[in-house]
Structure 1
Amino acid sequence: MGMIIVLLMGSADALAHAVTQGDKGYIQEITGVHLLPFIYLGAKHMVTGYDHILFLFGVIFFLYRLNHIALYVSLFALGHSTTMLLGVLFDTNVNGYLIDAIIGLSVVYKALDNLGAYQRWLGFQPNTKVATLVFGLFHGLGLATKIREYDVAADGLIPNLLAFNVGVEIGQMLALFAILIVMGYWRRTASFWRHAYTSNVVMMTAGFMLIGYQLTGWAVAS
């Protein structure tokens, strides 16, 4: 988790739903249906999206059964896919900085949830399934705000967006697979419970960093 903090501090692009300049140029230049390139771009976005990975890490941190993991990941994917597609197709006018700040908030929320903060502070446990779906909607909307900035050609737009979404889900599965391997090994060691609290505090700190970066960008751009 400490390495994630370093990466976040060292790369501004990692703090938003950014697309690399090379990919941006490619998206702006092509027209027509290009399924495989858009699948690749979607997978690349998810695998390199630290905000997505942090949130997924938090979601599955205390999930042990595969059916529970599949349920929560599916809810996140449903929300993410829905707003990404609709946000681009209907050209929703939302501020990308504020949406990405909410995405940072999702990381903070999940870290606090894992720490049992809501039960101590509020006396009850918020519905974690609903929260995962709702924050999935914001994650997808954040990506939609970036895609709209790149003027994707109308010719082939819907097939290309669907292909991009397929790539996002492939990337999510790859990221999830890697996280589960690491978590599976870590949970079998004595250090897991010793460092579970610290890990979630670090994750929460990363979320606050994401929020601060995005709100600073919003204030400067306003």
Structure 2
Amino acid sequence: KEVTVSGNWKVSQDSILTITGLERGKSVYKQDLKFAASGLMRQPGVVQCSLKRGYFSTIDINVTKAEPALLVNSGNLNAISREGMILPMDSKLPVLPLVSGRRFAAVRCYDHMKDPDIAYALETYDALMVRSPNLSSRLSEINFGDDDALKLYFSPAGTEVLLDRSDIQNGIQRLAAIADSGLVSDTAVFDLRFGPVMVESAIGGSAL
């Protein structure tokens, strides 16, 4: 007859009970879990929830809210989650890479942006986080140019990396291997669109 709450949504148990219509002290078999789940999924930013009847007359609730992954300008500057949900800007947001190079259709906060370029940008960012957390922490911009290239810019030196959007995973693998090797200290631009061939442009000073 107890309700336990987990997940990344920082909300009080009393608020959860109000939203879901669940009642303390009521038999778990007399609680309407479908109605409760529907109430949770209607909350702004909630992308997933699960409700399970647990042991000892408990109801276990897990709620996942969308978290910002990138910044995108769709009329206004907003964050966007890995699920493609537009999120409002907040002073507590971490520093996030900006998706640039084209105009995206206006989308209201908490609606989903259904744009293939956003999917490419999210795939790129996720692949970079998995392969090289250090590089992903310095990614400042993902740019879609006029050609089919995907351009990544890294701080602090503004190093530019060109990837083929049809082969993002392999491009990220090559980029991370190059960074790990220490061969990028004097390079401003890396063009990794041509398979194992790397085209580079040198400058003075430190890049990646």
So what's the TM-score if we normalise by structure 1?
Answer: 0.22
Name the structure with the higher helix share: 1
Computing the radius of gyration over CA atoms, which structure comes out larger, 1 or 2?
A: 2
Name the structure with the higher strand share: 2
So what's the TM-score if we normalise by structure 2?
Answer: 0.23
Relative contact order, CA 8 A, sep 6+: which one is greater? Answer: 1
